[in-house]
């Protein structure tokens, strides 16, 4: 049995105050993209997990493994399966790779065992694992509130083609970025409502104008190379360039796949630094 686990970008990300539980209130527009991990499942004597990346643990430290334990907690079904994850989503990149895998494990286990959990129950279970996991259950285009676990479906984004770029050796700690943001005074917050209105009116031009990310300035200050990367994307033909999540992945939006492929090659020629580069597009809701 096979399941795809798409990554995400943020079309809008507003960060509010830190809450008593240590999380921040957020107001985000989250969007699935075609860059995805692949999860396969087969019958086994006990639960085991393997990943084609030696950089990731295959035990309780991994969100995907935690997802299997949460599934058991919610259903009282002890998974006797082997799960393998083929990684394509970059690690520590602001693309929700770990959350996507956790959601994918919940979905594939739910299918394998006859769908004992509804979509709503899957999203509730997902919230126990991490803030981005509920979004990754169904994906598509959604507004996320609370700490990110409260979802409201939005009209699908127009098909947006993009180039994703991440310095290969660079990872960013989400917690550190949020802590740094707490120290910024008198900052202007993202207008998530403007992004939502553009989606509701199917206005691509307004959508591109509304894209914004409160975390971007903090990460760009820590990693000046990302400023050069954004500027290069715009100079080489991107209509908009922005960081996803806490970074350090930057995406450059273009009009079509052909233009995206050309931009990808131009970026590869421009930078001697080892960059992870992929062409991707937005994806509609995929829960089934």
Q: Catalytic residue positions? A: 8, 132
Other CB atoms within a 10 A radius of the CB of residue 189 amount to 12
145: β partners: 150
Distance (Å, whole) CA 9 – CA 162 = 11
Other CB atoms within a 10 A radius of the CB of residue 115 amount to 12
Which SS3 state, helix, strand or coil, does residue 28 take?
Answer: strand
Task: Give the ranges where the chain is alpha helix by DSSP (H).
Answer: 63-75, 97-112, 119-127, 133-138, 174-182, 192-200, 204-210, 216-222, 225-235, 257-270
Place of tokens 């273009």: 254
């Amino acid at each position: 049995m096979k399941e795809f686990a798409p990554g995400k970008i943020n079309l809008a990300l507003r960060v509010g105050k830190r809450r008593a539980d240590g999380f921040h209130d957020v107001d985000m527009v989250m969007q699935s993209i075609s860059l995805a991990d692949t999860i396969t499942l087969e019958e086994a004597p006990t639960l085991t997990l393997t990943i084609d990346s030696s950089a990731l643990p295959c035990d309780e430290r991994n969100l995907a493994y935690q997802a299997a334990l949460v599934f058991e907690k919610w259903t009282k079904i002890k998974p006797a399966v082997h799960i393998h994850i083929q990684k394509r989503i970059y690690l520590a990149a602001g693309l929700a790779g770990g959350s996507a895998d956790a959601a994918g494990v919940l979905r594939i286990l739910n299918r394998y065992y006859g769908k004992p959990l509804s979509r709503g129950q899957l999203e509730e279970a997902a919230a126990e694992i991490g803030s981005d996991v509920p979004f990754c259950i169904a994906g598509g285009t959604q507004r996320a509130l609370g700490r990110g676990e409260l979802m409201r479906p939005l009209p699908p984004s127009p098909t947006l083609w993009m180039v994703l770029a991440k310095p290969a050796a660079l990872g960013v700690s989400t917690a550190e970025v949020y802590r740094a943001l707490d120290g910024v005074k008198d900052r202007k917050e993202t207008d998530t409502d403007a992004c939502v209105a553009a989606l509701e009116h199917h206005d691509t031009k307004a959508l591109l104008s509304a894209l914004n990310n409160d975390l971007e300035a903090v990460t760009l200050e820590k990693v000046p190379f990302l400023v050069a990367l954004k500027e290069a994307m715009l100079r080489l033909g991107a209509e908009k360039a922005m960081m996803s999540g806490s970074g350090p992945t930057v995406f450059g939006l273009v009009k079509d796949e052909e233009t995206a492929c050309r931009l990808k090659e131009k970026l590869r020629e421009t930078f001697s630094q080892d960059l992870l580069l992929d062409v991707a597009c937005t994806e509609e809701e995929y829960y089934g």
